[in-house]
Amino acid sequence: MLSEIGITQDQLPTLKASGEIVGNITSEAAEQTGLSKETIVATGAMDQAASAIGAGNVRPGVVSENTGAALAVVATIDKPVYDEKRRIPCHRHAIDKLYFLMPWCQTAGMFLKWFRDTFCHIEKSLEPLLGRDAYEIMDLEALRVPPGCEGLVMLPHLTGAACPEFDPYAKCVMFGITLKHTKPYFIRAVMESISYMLRRNVELLRELGIPIHEIRSIGGAAKSGLWLQIKSDVLQKEILVPRIKDTAVLGAAILAGIATGVYSSVESAVRSMVKIEKIIKPRKEFSTLYDKLYEIYVELYEVLRPLFRRVEVL
């Protein structure tokens, strides 16, 4: 491969495992940052691998879902699994001899942010008066809406669709609007649409034979108790919520602890540093409702898929 692209091996950096010492910072870096010249530089990991470690997703059977601007799902496995349809990438984990599958979707929390910035100017203006951010106020509004939003279903594809559709022409759709559907319905429907998208990727993991014993929620959306409950109800699975939601930073700290000998293994560091704040339990009474709405969500995309490309060329 190197010969084909015209470079030699000595032009590439030395490969090291995550959590190994690389060296010390330079004198220039020490001067600019005020850090000691003895400060150690250690290898880290890609963002979602570090997030998985910070979430305690360090053994097969555990899945972490990170709903930030995008949605990334990390399913830890003990051997490589390759999807013949090429819908899910397989990565090396930051932990030796482990791997993970990572379905991802580029529009998740970004959908709610777009809705806030476009339609929730009143909620944003209330932030300094109530001492709460607009998302908290939106949560309170959406709490008044029944599960399922009385038939309001959305496709959250503002910038095309990624896993498992991989359709750059996919568009956002708001389906089932009636006169009863006020703004709080739309807020909740946005959250439900991302939960359906999460379920579709969880079901894809099951299709590939990946065991799922535990799901952990991280990222900005994990701060919303309502959104966590919706995900649990849609998946009909318990959701474990770590105390620290921004787990990539914690995962990087754990790897630094391994490199410096503070911890002997990632597993021991996780036992010490990763704490579960709460467990969200699914409400069985909404299982049938969400099963039916999820089927509509999937069918809605399939029915509209030919039309998305036609809109694109206008």
**Cis amide leading into 164 (omega within 30):** yes
Kind plus residue range of the DSSP H or E element containing 71: strand 71-77
Count other C-beta atoms under 10 Å from residue 304's C-beta.
16
Helices within the chain (DSSP H only) = 2-5, 27-33, 47-54, 109-119, 121-125, 127-130, 134-142, 183-207, 225-235, 247-259, 266-273, 287-312
CA distances from 57 to 62, 97, 98 (A): 6, 14, 11
Query: In 3D, which of 268, 244, 249, 271 has the Cα closest to residue 258?
Result: 268
Structure tokens at 166: 């991989």
What CA–CA distance (Å, rounded) separates 14 from 22?
A: 10
Kind plus residue range of the DSSP H or E element containing 77: strand 71-77
What CA–CA distance (Å, rounded) separates 236 from 258?
A: 36
pLDDT of 82? 95
pTM for the full predicted model: 0.93
What CA–CA distance (Å, rounded) separates 126 from 303?
A: 40
Could you tell me if 278 and 239 are in contact, meaning their C-beta atoms sit under 8 angstroms apart?
A: no
Strands 90-92 and 276-280: unpaired
The answer for 174, left when phi > 0, alpha when psi is -120 to 50, beta otherwise, is beta
Query: In 3D, which of 17, 56, 117 has the Cα closest to residue 251?
Result: 56
Could you tell me if 98 and 61 are in contact, meaning their C-beta atoms sit under 8 angstroms apart?
A: no
Strands 172-175 and 214-218: unpaired
CATH architecture classification, 79-89+103-244+274-312? 2-Layer Sandwich (3.30)
What CA–CA distance (Å, rounded) separates 143 from 227?
A: 10
pLDDT under 50: residue ranges of the chain: none
Could you tell me if 53 and 94 are in contact, meaning their C-beta atoms sit under 8 angstroms apart?
A: yes
